[in-house]
């Protein structure tokens, strides 16, 4: 893959990738964009081994997900939404206020449950695709989705 081809593909997927990472980082745009940039550089370095099977998005999301797990942003999570709200304070001013509760609720999920939920509900991936992106079995993904959904519904009082 040439650099121009890579840039073109990234331009098409940029919004989806940044949205995915923004949700994983619970609304922290700076963290999300830093992780996105790191992930894209890693993807560029690995692009020689990418075989064009029309699944660039899944391949890119897998790299982005691994980059997120290695970033300090993935190590932050809270026991409940009130604790998250206390810590966030005004620092989440750049997040869309109307959806801040969703981001705060996501920050109470462990990284793997958060990833599964975001990939399933925000990006519309299937269980099989999520298991390939996160490198876990389909059964584990289903459990993560089930647990994550229950926690989110409790914390958001849905």
Partner 1 sequence: MMKDKELEQLFLAQRPSFDDKDEFMMRLERKLDAVEYLRQYEEANLRRYKYAMVATFVLGIVVGGVFLAFVLQMPQDVPLIAFNASSGILLFLEQHSRMFATAALSLLLCSGIVSIISNALDIVKMKTFIGASHTN
Residues that bind partner 1 (CB under 8 A): 2-4, 7, 10-11, 14-15, 18-19, 22-23, 33, 36-37, 40-41, 44-45, 96, 99, 102, 117-118, 120-122, 127, 142, 145, 149, 152-153, 156, 158
State which residue, 75 or 153, has the beta carbon closest to partner 1: 153
Q: Is 58 helix (H, G, I), strand (E, B) or coil?
A: helix
End-to-end CA distance of the chain: 46
| Cβ proximity to partner 1, 2 vs 75, nearer residue | 2
111 C-beta neighbours (distance < 10 Å), count:
18
State the nearest-atom distance from the C-beta of 61 to partner 1, in Å: 16
Least separation in angstroms between residue 102's CB and partner 1 is: 5
Residue 136: both structure tokens together: 């876990």
């Amino acid at each position: 893959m040439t650099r121009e081809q890579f840039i073109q593909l990234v331009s098409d997927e940029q919004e989806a990738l940044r949205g995915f990472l923004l949700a994983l980082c619970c609304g922290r745009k700076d963290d999300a964009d830093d992780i996105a940039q790191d992930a894209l550089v890693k993807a560029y370095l690995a692009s020689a081994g990418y075989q064009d099977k029309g699944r660039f998005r899944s391949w890119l999301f897998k790299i982005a997900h691994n980059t997120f797990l290695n970033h300090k942003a993935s190590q932050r999570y809270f026991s409940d939404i009130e604790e998250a709200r206390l810590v966030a304070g005004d620092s989440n001013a750049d997040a869309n206020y109307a959806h801040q509760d969703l981001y705060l609720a996501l920050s109470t999920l462990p990284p793997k449950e958060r990833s599964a939920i975001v990939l399933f509900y925000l990006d519309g991936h299937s269980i099989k695709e999520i298991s390939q992106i996160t490198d876990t079995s389909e059964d584990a993904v289903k459990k993560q989705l089930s647990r994550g959904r229950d926690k989110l519904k409790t914390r958001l009082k849905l």
